[in-house]
Every structure is written in C-alpha cells, then in structure tokens.
C-alpha cells in the first residue's frame, strides 16, 4: 500500500487467533508511538518532504489512515476504480484522508490506531507499512526510534519475497546478496551488501540511505537511485 507500488503479494495463510491478537497488540503499540512523535510537530514540520518520493510527512500519515480504513473488499473496488493503478489508488487515498489541517490528519490517525481491517496481503505487510513509513516520517525530522529487531527482520524477509511490481525487491536478490549485521538474515546471490536490517529494509524499499549505513562490494547498487 505504499508507493511506488503495493507490498501485497497474496493473502497468505490465515493467522491463528492468538497470533492475530499478538500482531494486533504490536500494531497498536507501533501506531501509538508514531502518533506520539507526530503530536510534537509544528505545522512546518508536517509539510517537510518524507523519504517517500513526492510525499510530505503529512501525506504519509494520511496514507496510513487510508490503509487502516481499507477493507479487503474496499481495496479491490478502489483498485478497479483506478484502473488497477496502485499509484493512483494511493494518491486518491492520501487526498481523501489529509483533512483540512495537520491536526485533523493526526486526529484521523488516532481514530484508526486500533483498527484491524487490512487489504488482501500477508500479515507481515503491516510490519512493512509501519516500519518503512515510520522511517519515512522520522528520518527527515531527525527522530530516532527503536524497532523490535524481529519486526524489522520479518519486514525485510517479506520485501525480499515480494516482486518489485508490488513494491518489493524480489528481483534484487538475483543481483546482490543482502546480509543483516544485526539479525540472522542473509538472502540473494551476487556481490554482498552488509548493514543493519533496518537500513537494508529501507534501501530495498526504494528509500535513500546514507552510504555509510551499508558495506560490501554490492552496496553501491543498493544506495544508487533505482528507476
């Protein structure tokens, strides 16, 4: 659900009730942590460019509102309405959920913080949304946040299984080998790229990372802008 595409590669297995409850609790904790950070911003900071190309901090927050409100049926209907163009569907959702002021955007985000509806996507796509978009907002603002290591690793694994046409980086694993220096995770073939799982996640999700965050002979390919 994040531009330039959508991370959903399929519906995935239906989670058990205990798993769903744990995921829901973790989702709410991540949502409220981001809301707390956003609540401290002034109007100028809300309009700063995010890491997500073409979107401001406020746009990313509006997108999170839209994603939280989107049901499986609503996703399919909305996608068909936009002629199966993910970018247009995302842009429409941002326009709809921005509201008239940053405070209205924030209030809308508060209202959906506990929602559990989701577009058709693997369960871990929620992690990708929250971690990547959380950094889209926080990094340009100079805000640091500590994510559970397993949440970041699971997000990275999903992105490496998801085709680029759906916002992932599956094809990238045919060109480089990614090795997380802070998690038991290594995938791909080719020149190695080493770095923290969060830095790798952002890079494979099309976000710019500082060159010093990544190391290895394949790092240049990941840091360079990709079409």
Per-residue pLDDT tens over the stretch 125-153:
778 989 999 999 999 999 999 999 999 99
Q: Where do we find the tokens 């790798």?
A: 200
pLDDT of residue 130: 92
Set out the domains of the chain in order of their start, with CATH numbers.
17-141 (1.20.120.450), 149-223 (3.30.1050)
- β-bridge mates for residue 178, sequence order: 187, 193
* Dist. CA 51–CA 225, nearest whole Å: 13
Place of tokens 């990941």: 222
pTM more than 0.85: no
Task: Evaluate the omega torsion of the peptide bond into residue 4 and state whether it is cis, within 30 degrees of 0.
Answer: yes
> Could you tell me the strand order of the sheet in which 177-180 lies?
186-188, 177-180, 192-195
**What is the pLDDT, as a whole number, of residue 67?**
87
The pLDDT, as a whole number, for residue 84 is 62
CA separation, residue 182 to residues 186, 194, 222 (Å): 11, 10, 18
Q: DSSP labels for 159-191? A: HHHS-GGGT--GGGGGT-EEEESSSS-EEESSS
CB of 166 within 8 A of CB of 149?
Answer: no
pLDDT of residue 56: 98
């Amino acid at each position: 659900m994040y531009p330039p595409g959508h991370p959903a590669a399929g519906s995935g297995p239906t989670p058990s009730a205990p798993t769903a409850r744990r995921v829901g609790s973790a989702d709410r904790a991540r949502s409220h942590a981001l809301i707390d950070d956003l609540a401290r911003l002034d109007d100028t900071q809300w309009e700063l460019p995010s890491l997500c190309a073409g979107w401001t901090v406020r746009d990313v927050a509006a997108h999170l509102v839209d994603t939280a409100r989107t049901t499986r049926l609503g996703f399919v209907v909305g996608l068909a309405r936009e002629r199966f163009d993910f970018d247009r569907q995302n842009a429409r959702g941002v326009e709809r959920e921005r509201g008239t002021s940053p405070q209205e955007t924030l209030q809308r985000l508060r209202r959906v913080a506990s929602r559990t509806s989701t577009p058709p996507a693997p369960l871990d796509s929620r992690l990708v949304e929250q971690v990547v978009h959380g950094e889209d907002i926080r990094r340009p603002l100079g805000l640091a946040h500590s994510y559970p290591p397993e949440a970041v690793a699971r997000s990275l694994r999903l992105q490496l299984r998801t085709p680029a046409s759906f916002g992932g980086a599956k094809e990238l694993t045919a060109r480089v080998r990614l090795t997380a220096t802070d998690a038991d995770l290594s995938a791909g073939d080719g020149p190695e790229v080493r770095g923290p799982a969060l830095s790798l996640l952002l890079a494979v999700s099309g976000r710019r990372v500082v060159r010093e965050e990544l190391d290895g002979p394949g790092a240049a390919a990941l840091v360079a802008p990709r079409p």
